[in-house]
Chains A and B, each alone.
Chain A
Amino acid sequence: MLSAKDVKDRLPDIVEGLFRNVPSGVGSRRKDLRLSHGELRGVLEKGARWAIANGFGTSSDLENIENQGCLDEADPDAVSDRAYERGKDQLGTVGSGNHFVEVGYVAQIFDEEAARAFGLTRGQATIMIHTGSRGLGYQVCDESIRQMLSAAGKYSIALVDRQLCCAPLNSPEGRRYFSAMAAAANYAFANRQLITHWVRETFEEVFAASDSSLGLGLVYDVCHNIAKKELHRVEGKDMMLCVHRKGATRAFAPHHRLVPDRYREVGQPVLVPGDMGRASYVLAGTQRAMDETFGSTCHGAGRMMSRSAALRSARGRSIIREMEERGVYVRAASKATLAEEMPEAYKDVSKVVEVVHRAGISRLVAKIIPMGSIKG
């Protein structure tokens, strides 16, 4: 198992290695992995299972991914040619915006039992990956919005804001979006699984040891922008619902049947990335989340400054140097992204997780302090 000190001693090698092995930035692509149409179909159908079947990771990773890394409702035929085109060389890339790969360490444990179940101990090094379905998912959303605007008219759904455009779940338009979105979600699961693989390879290179001896097991992989069909108890009745979580994370309670066995007693792990300078958190799902929020909690810090305001405020400063002074080694594909993502552009994630902990819709397990990261 790697400690904070092990990583700190080799930090530039690790971060530079990650930056080389995992492409980041707007429109970032992989020169070494360009998928054929048929392969991409497989990704959209099977998600992280495709990645494992092709040698990226082990089948035990699947147990620790939401829905085992695959939404069965995905239909590769519901995804347009343009989206396929955008997706074929972006699998295994971070992209830009708030996405990152971050190296940190466990600075504080709040819940010993849950931390033990999650395999987290104080002083241990961690890696957190945050990215989604890249240009393919963007394309699916963009095209669906146009289709949903006409569907809302067709089904006489009154919209107080056109951006709420939607269709009945059981209409052809609603079913089509759901299956295209699920396919994009599978792409995101596969994307992170491939990145996990290259992160492990990077650490193997730097430390000249196997990933299992370095303790690079997957704690959990969770979605944060998704609509899922889930069974929930509402006013004493079991109801099948389509739960939309946008910038929100699933937080299922102890003993829920969809929580992996090894976490069954403590609840589903929830990963809450903060900004690149302050902290990230690991939480656990609760019964109160099931009762009040359809098993959901926060996702991150939440922006406080618009991207343009952050750019203005960063003018004439070196964010890289400021981060270095805080003890965080950062590599980024673009200076503008770094400015947009500087810590003060975000709310303090510690205050965000305190609210969900006090409200009881998830509970604090561990605090992670960043040491280095790669950004878009």
Chain B
Amino acid sequence: MKGERRMLEKLDENRYVVRRSGAMRVDGIIYIDEELLGYLGTDESIEQVRNVATLPGIVRASLAVPDIHWGYGFPIGGVAAFDVDEGVISPGGVGYDIN
């Protein structure tokens, strides 16, 4: 987690970015402030934001909202948009509790 936290760069009071690197196709952007970031503890959800950014056809950024926490594959509190022609669809991006 400490390593994950180091990947985060503060954009402003309410947003942090994980810059595109390695297999990532876009940046990761997390809407969160310093206090809520502190609650992530040993949570692996920042790594999950990075992982989602590697998927084919992802547009703009792999996004997360301040209630982010670990989920199956994609973080809970995650938003990812894919080009309908070149992108993918993933059950992990929706989760088990559909709708």
Residues on A lying within 8 angstroms of B by beta carbon are 97, 132-133, 137-138, 140-142, 144-145, 148, 157-158, 160-161, 163-170, 174, 177-178, 181, 184-185, 187-189, 223-227, 229, 232, 234, 239-248, 293-294, 296-304, 347, 349, 351-352, 354-356, 358-359, 361
Which residues of the other chain, B, contact A189 by a CB distance below 8 angstroms? 99
**CB–CB B67/A165 < 8 A:** no
A163 partner, pick from B57, B69, B92, beta carbons under 8 A: B92
Q: A132-B97, A243-B80, A248-B77 are in contact. List 19 more A-B contacts (CB 8 A).
A: A132-B99, A133-B99, A137-B99, A142-B96, A164-B51, A164-B74, A165-B91, A177-B89, A178-B89, A188-B98, A226-B94, A226-B99, A242-B89, A243-B81, A244-B93, A247-B67, A300-B67, A351-B33, A359-B15
**CB–CB A168/B94 < 8 A:** no
Chain B 75-99, CB within 8 Å of chain A: the 1/0 string? 1111111111111111111111111
**CB–CB B59/A225 < 8 A:** no
B18 beta carbon closer than 8 Å to chain A? no
B63 beta carbon closer than 8 Å to chain A? yes
Which residues of the other chain, B, contact A351 by a CB distance below 8 angstroms? 33, 35-36, 66
Given contacts A177-B91, A242-B82, A302-B68, are A355 and B97 in contact (CB under 8 A)? no
A232 and B59 CA atoms in complex are apart in Å by 11
Which residues of the other chain, A, contact B76 by a CB distance below 8 angstroms? 246-247, 302
Given contacts A132-B98, A188-B98, A248-B77, are A298 and B89 in contact (CB under 8 A)? no
**CB–CB A169/B82 < 8 A:** yes
**CB–CB A141/B98 < 8 A:** yes
User: How far, in Å, is A275 (CB) from chain B's closest CB?
Assistant: 11
Which residues of the other chain, B, contact A144 by a CB distance below 8 angstroms? 91
Which residues of the other chain, B, contact A359 by a CB distance below 8 angstroms? 14-15, 31
User: How far, in Å, is A236 (CB) from chain B's closest CB?
Assistant: 13
**CB–CB A247/B81 < 8 A:** no
A-B pairs, 3 with minimum CB distance: A302-B67, A188-B99, A163-B73
B46 beta carbon closer than 8 Å to chain A? no
A320 and B84 CA atoms in complex are apart in Å by 48
Which residues of the other chain, B, contact A187 by a CB distance below 8 angstroms? 99
**CB–CB A181/B94 < 8 A:** yes
Number of B residues whose C-beta is below 8 Å from A?
Answer: 55
B5 beta carbon closer than 8 Å to chain A? no
**CB–CB A184/B55 < 8 A:** no
**CB–CB B59/A168 < 8 A:** no
A293 partner, pick from B41, B55, B79, B88, beta carbons under 8 A: B79
A97 and B76 CA atoms in complex are apart in Å by 15
A352 and B35 CA atoms in complex are apart in Å by 10
**CB–CB A184/B14 < 8 A:** no
**CB–CB A166/B36 < 8 A:** no
B8 beta carbon closer than 8 Å to chain A? no
In this complex, the member of A232, A247, A294, A352 whose beta carbon has the largest number of chain B beta carbons within 10 angstroms is A247
Which residues of the other chain, B, contact A140 by a CB distance below 8 angstroms? 98
**CB–CB B73/A161 < 8 A:** yes
A137 and B94 CA atoms in complex are apart in Å by 11
A160 and B57 CA atoms in complex are apart in Å by 15
A137 and B66 CA atoms in complex are apart in Å by 26
Which residues of the other chain, B, contact A241 by a CB distance below 8 angstroms? 59, 81-84, 87
**CB–CB A296/B99 < 8 A:** no
Question: Could you list 12 examples of A-B contacts with CB < 8 Å?
Answer: A137-B98, A148-B90, A163-B92, A166-B89, A177-B91, A178-B89, A240-B84, A245-B79, A246-B75, A248-B79, A302-B68, A355-B66
A352 and B14 CA atoms in complex are apart in Å by 11
Which residues of the other chain, A, contact B52 by a CB distance below 8 angstroms? 164
**CB–CB A141/B90 < 8 A:** no
Given contacts A298-B66, A361-B31, are A166 and B55 in contact (CB under 8 A)? yes
**CB–CB A160/B69 < 8 A:** no
Chain B 2-44, CB within 8 Å of chain A: the 1/0 string? 0000000000011100000001000000011101100101000
**CB–CB B91/A148 < 8 A:** yes
Which residues of the other chain, B, contact A184 by a CB distance below 8 angstroms? 98-99
Given contacts A160-B23, A165-B73, A168-B88, are A293 and B98 in contact (CB under 8 A)? no
**CB–CB A247/B31 < 8 A:** no
Given contacts A144-B91, A164-B73, A293-B79, are A356 and B98 in contact (CB under 8 A)? no
A117 and B29 CA atoms in complex are apart in Å by 32
A297 (CB) vs chain B CBs: closest residue: B65
